[in-house]
Amino acid sequence: MIQVLDSQFEKGASSLDGLPDSTIPEIAFVGRSNVGKSSLINRLTKRKNLARTSGTPGKTQELNYYALTLRSEDQAKFPLYFVDLPGFGYAKFSKKKRQYVSRLTVEYVQQREQLRAICLLNDCRRLPEEDELALRELAFDAGVHCLVVLTKFDKLKQSQKMKEINRISKAYGLEPEDLVKSGLKEPTHLLWERVMPLVDAPQ
Ligand SMILES: Nc1nc2c(ncn2[C@@H]2O[C@H](COP(=O)(O)OP(=O)(O)OP(=O)(O)O)[C@@H](O)[C@H]2O)c(=O)[nH]1
Ligand SMILES: [Mg+2]
């Protein structure tokens, strides 16, 4: 199992010019505002407040870099960045701000060479909309892996779970087992097991 030996906030950047000058691979977390991106980073790193979360949408407004030191099963240590992106689709942001956020995301996914994969977060209680589908296509066109993560899975009743997974995977044109579940009761090592091969895989 992968171990997180260390995790710390490195920097926030409001444009591509401000991104770290390094060759460390990156995994980015993207999705609608309030979907649970920052919470997932905390869960994966087993930290309560590494990434700041909020009940109010629009909390994360920059590309926030978290520097991790990991240890793999063969005991090798290696660095990885988690990048927390600003959420899209937040109605209370001005139109200008929303356009800025989406332009920043598009440019980042298209241009960032170190980016290995995006985790595209989708609330398990709603179907993907144009934004989610466009992001997945954007990643595909840029040669970046895209892992769809269903968040807030604990909010579904047992009887609804399979139905929602089927509905959402179909909307993405994926198989149910392609989706990763995330929620208060879901173990994070399953997500790590899906993420790690993408860090090493050729794009
Ligand atoms: N029940 C439940 N609540 C969650 C889960 N993930 C996140 N939340 C809650 O959802 C709210 C938003 O979480 P954040 O992690 O701040 O969401 P975000 O996607 O980073 O939001 P922005 O930074 O605004 O784009 C918080 O109140 C979290 O506690 C989950 O898996 N289950
Ligand atoms: Mg956030």
Angle at Cα 195 formed by Cα 57 and Cα 122, nearest 5°? 30
What's the whole-model pTM score?
0.94
Please tell me the distance between residue 106's alpha carbon and the centre of ligand 2 in angstroms.
18
Task: Report the pLDDT value the prediction gives residue 53, as an integer from 0 to 100.
Answer: 82
Question: What pLDDT score does 100 carry?
Answer: 66
Ligand 1 contacts CB of residue 87 (under 6 A): yes
CA 190 to ligand 1 center in whole angstroms: 19
Does ligand 1 come within 6 angstroms of the Cβ of 105?
no
Q: What is the 40 CA–ligand 1 centroid distance (Å)?
A: 8
Domains in the chain, please, with CATH? Answer: 3-200 (3.40.50.300)
Sheet holding 145-151, edge to edge: 3-13, 63-71, 77-84, 26-31, 115-123, 145-151, 180-181
Per-residue confidence in pLDDT tens, the chain, 203 aa? 889 999 999 999 988 999 999 999 999 999 998 999 999 999 999 999 999 887 776 666 789 999 999 998 888 899 999 999 988 776 666 777 767 668 889 999 999 999 999 999 999 999 999 889 999 999 999 999 999 999 999 999 999 999 999 999 999 999 999 999 999 989 999 999 999 998 876 55
Q: What's residue 203's pLDDT?
A: 53
